[in-house]
Amino acid sequence: MTTRPIAVVGASAAGITAAEALRRAGWDGPLTLIGDEPHLPYDRPPLSKQLLHGAWEPAKLLLRTEEQLAPLGLDLRLGTRATGLDIATRTLTLDGGERLACAGVIIATGVAARTLPGADGLAGVFTLRTLDDALALRDRLSEGARRLVVVGNGVLGCEAAAVARELGHEVILVGREPVPMAAAVGAGIGELLAEEHRARGVRLVTGEVAEFETVADGSATRVAGVRLADGSRHPGDLVLLAIGSEPAVGWLADPALDTSDGLGCDAYCAAAPGIYAAGDVARWEHPGHGRPLRFEHRMNATEQAMAAARNLVAELTTEGAVATAEGAEPQERRPFAPVPYFWSDQYGLKLQAYGLTSGADEVETTVLDGEARRAVALYGRDGLAVGVLACALPPRQIRALRAVIATPVPWEEARERVRAATATG
């Protein structure tokens, strides 16, 4: 039996879920949870919605309180960054120089917000990835009417734009694609969202930012807007960069690891013996879709963390690092094959999607009620239906739509099933 700890690197949703799942799976040895932020584990989706709006305060985002964490017996390392990992010895290096030899490691470091040249140190330019990011932007929005330029019309940019309009601010939403969220949901649903944003007073602009407009403010320089590649200028008191993210794998330099798009893993979420990954950072072989996938969505973080924890404990049991009860059957690793799910709330609209909606070679969008923005979209790849999205549909229909693509099915069969699911109610 080993006395080395299992270390979970990353203390957000995937990390805390992994820690709890490790205990449930039978790991009763030392357990270290490492997070680079000083905060207790908190939920990220509300950052661009309830927290930014001011409806929630930070305490409501906590995934676990100190009292709830206590039974886990964690060695909790908040405000600590992992800077290296030796695969052969399963040894982590931390930012203070400490080397931590581990029985196993789960990597749940998530992603980091992308930025633009000239943004660093420029007052009035924000990203929205962390609690501190969201609070800083909220503080500025609370000072009075502002002109906000949101750069990036994906999920995050659209949600933040919606909140800012609801708060009464002037909003320009700049995107490379002419309709919001096109890469994730296709042109049909994207146009429906564009109509809603325009109806709410958001100005939609297509283009790429060439540079920031700036103005001197005492001894500092602050943003005054953006200039696009086509030469157009768009003034703003504040600029939010919502241009996507990069998997947080820069600290993983071991050549045995594949970090080309997140951390490459097998179907069991293993990147190497005793090394697993979960959440936004993990790219794994999905058995049902037959190709590597990486999802930056909240539900996947939780589900994958539980799978990675179970599989790691099963592996360590085989190695003899975890004891099994006398007469008990040894645990077996199981492939991780979820039905992917994501949602987005914008104004009064709720979008819910199951399966794969990006990268489709065929998309069919049916608007059921244009005024109410009720719609459904089906997404196909290589003749199979692989994803479905519902906008402003009732729960009963949404449950039926999920069943359509629980596993990929022939396109025509899925079309008929979607029609049947949305025929009434």
Q: Residue 394 belongs to a domain with what CATH number?
A: 3.30.390.30
For residue 12, the model assigns a pLDDT of 96
Of 279, 302, 319, the position where a domain reaches its end is: 319
Q: What is the pLDDT of residues 118-176, one digit of tens each?
A: 999 999 999 999 999 999 999 999 999 999 999 999 999 999 999 999 999 999 999 99
Residue 418, classed as helix, strand or coil, is helix
Phi, psi (5° rounding) for residue 29?
Answer: -85, -170
Kindly state whether residue 332 falls inside one of the protein's structural domains: no
For residue 92, the model assigns a pLDDT of 98
Shared-domain flag, residues 312 and 399: no
Shared-domain flag, residues 357 and 372: yes
For residue 329, the model assigns a pLDDT of 60
> For the packed helices 298-319 and 13-24, what is the interaxial angle rounded to 10 degrees?
40
For residue 10, the model assigns a pLDDT of 98
Shared-domain flag, residues 264 and 209: no
Kindly state whether residue 329 falls inside one of the protein's structural domains: no
Q: Give the number of domains in the chain.
A: 3
The domain that holds 295 is classified in CATH as 3.50.50.60
Kindly state whether residue 340 falls inside one of the protein's structural domains: no
Kindly state whether residue 359 falls inside one of the protein's structural domains: yes
Kindly state whether residue 78 falls inside one of the protein's structural domains: yes
* DSSP count for the chain of H helices, then E strands: 9, 28
Shared-domain flag, residues 234 and 277: no
Kindly state whether residue 265 falls inside one of the protein's structural domains: yes
Shared-domain flag, residues 119 and 235: yes
Average pLDDT along the chain, 425 residues, taken 10 residues at a time: 88 98 96 98 96 97 97 97 97 96 98 96 96 98 95 97 97 96 94 96 97 90 96 97 97 95 98 98 94 94 98 92 60 93 93 93 93 94 94 89 89 93 77
Alpha-carbon distances of 356 from 84, 384, 406, rounded to whole Å: 33, 11, 11
β partners of residue 72: none
Shared-domain flag, residues 105 and 119: no
Shared-domain flag, residues 225 and 282: no
What 8-state DSSP symbol labels residue 106? E
Instruction: Show the domain range for 56.
Output: 6-112+246-319
Of 181, 208, 243, the position where a domain reaches its end is: 243
Shared-domain flag, residues 370 and 293: no
The CA distance from 144 to 130, in Å, is: 23
> For the packed helices 155-166 and 182-199, what is the interaxial angle rounded to 10 degrees?
10
Shared-domain flag, residues 91 and 107: yes
255 contact partners, CB below 8 Å, separation of at least 6: none
Kindly state whether residue 196 falls inside one of the protein's structural domains: yes
Per the CB < 8 A criterion, the answer to whether 268 and 336 are in contact is yes
Shared-domain flag, residues 230 and 253: no
Shared-domain flag, residues 379 and 403: yes
- Residue 210, both tokens: 């060439």
User: What are the CB-based long-range contacts (under 8 Å, 24+) for 195-199?
Assistant: 195/370, 195/373, 196/346, 196/347, 196/349, 196/373, 197/158, 197/161, 197/162, 197/165, 197/173, 197/346
Shared-domain flag, residues 231 and 273: no
- Residue 361, both tokens: 């070679």
Provide DSSP, 32-68: EEEESSSSPPB-SGGGGTHHHHTSS-GGGGBSS-HHH
For residue 319, the model assigns a pLDDT of 83
* C-alpha closest to that of 366 among 158, 192, 181, 193: 192
Kindly state whether residue 331 falls inside one of the protein's structural domains: no
Of 277, 299, 319, the position where a domain reaches its end is: 319
